[in-house]
Structure 1
Amino acid sequence: MAAVPERIRQAVAVLDVHPTDRLLEIGCGGGVAVQLVCPLLETGTITAVDRSATAVERAVRRNAGPVREGRATIAQASFTAPELAAAGLSDRRFDKIFAINVNLFWTGPARAELALAASLLAPGGALYAFYEPPGQRLDEVATKVTAAFEAAGFTAEVSYAAPVVGIVGGLLI
């Protein structure tokens, strides 16, 4: 197995994947997190989306076994309701939704995307955002993501494990 970036190892550790979890990864890139998650699943599944066809091809190649076995689904789609519907993913519910180094949640309010995440979470589910920002931007990213989560009706718990910051959000009910 090729070297796994520390931010991905840390993210998967924080996810605390259970054998029956249903996970969704936003922006899966080449599928490294999928590769780490699949051995932790028994009856659970991981669905991963990326808007890049090249990234999806790499992710499918890297995870051919789990895809064939039905433990992993990898699709080309942006994280929008129409694209997830077109990919046949809009009717699924997930225990954990996560993104690693996806700018979406800290570069703007991400209202539509956070509402979409809320609609896709199973009761008791959580949204996870992990970042390894350049320079000394951990606090800035954590503050912006926390504000976006809270404005969208999520709780926000921040954890630091240099060089990564993680924000975990649960829905306020």
Structure 2
Amino acid sequence: MAVGAIPERVRWTVDKMAVRPGDRLLEIGCGRGAAVSLVCDRLRSGQITAIDRSLTMVKYAEQRNAEHVAAGRAVFQTAPLDGADLPRRRFDKVFAVNVNLFWVRSSASDLDIIRRLLKPSGAMFLTYEPPAIARAEAIADRVATFLTEQRFDVTTTYGATHRSALVCLTARPAG
């Protein structure tokens, strides 16, 4: 993949989020910053905060998005979710693309953090790209069950790239 290439799963996820010009977003596991680039192209007064555990990835992402950082539309932090310095009730949308968040392990503490970060009307978007639809369904079932048990309303959307399946779980705090 070329340095500037944006994976299909990232484009699909950003489209699913329907980013509005004034949105405040948090990306968990920003990697090289491809999603940040797409999101910032849709923002006017809004802002995206992107975190990643890897200093190397954050440096790549900052370099890729230097114009957005300078304009105040993008902010990066090198930190895990539970170590990031993030304001409460600030984010309209929190998202992660191909991050093992809730897929490999069900973490109530991570979900509590996300719940505190979301605005009351906010939503979380979790996208996974397994190689086959059967695996996408299994991931969706596992993650949706966990989120529902933790009092989130969940909608599941399936898609595909030219070589693999996609699943996006959209979750909103219930009640």
User: Taking structure 2 as the reference length, what is the TM-score of the superposition?
Assistant: 0.92
Counterpart contact for 1:38–1:72, Cα < 8 Å:
yes
For structure 2, the residue ranges without an aligned partner over 5 or more in a row are: none
2:35 maps to 1:38:
no
Task: Choose which of 67, 70, 82 in structure 2 pairs with 1:68.
Answer: 70
Match of 2:144 among 131, 135, 146: 146
Gap regions ≥5 residues in structure 1: none
Cα shift at 1:123: 1.6
1:29 CA drift (Å): 0.3
Secondary structure in 2 aligned to 1:12? helix
Over the aligned positions, Cα root-mean-square deviation in angstroms equals: 1.2
Q: CA offsets, 1:101-147, max 9 Å, x none?
A: 01121111110011110000012100110000134411111011101
Aligned residues: 168
- What does residue range 64-103 of structure 1 map to in structure 2 within 5 Å? 64-80=66-82, 83-85=83-85, 89-91=86-88, 93-103=90-100
Secondary structure at the counterpart of residue 93 of structure 2: strand
Q: CA separation in 1, counterparts of 2:39 and 2:146?
A: 27
* d(CA) in 2 for partners of 1:152, 1:72: 30
**1:9 Cα offset (Å):** 0.6
1:157 matched to 2:155? The reply is: yes
Contact 1:84/1:90 (CA < 8 Å) preserved in 2?
no
Q: 1:109 aligns with which of 106, 111, 120?
A: 106
Q: Deviations over 1:136-172 (max 9, x none)?
A: 4111110111012112211110000122100000001
Q: Aligned residues: percent identity?
A: 43
**Residue of structure 2 equivalent to 1:4:** 6
Instruction: Please report the TM-score for the alignment, with normalisation by the length of structure 1.
Output: 0.93
8 A contact 1:106–1:148 mirrored in 2: no
Structure 1 position 91, deviation (Å): 4.2
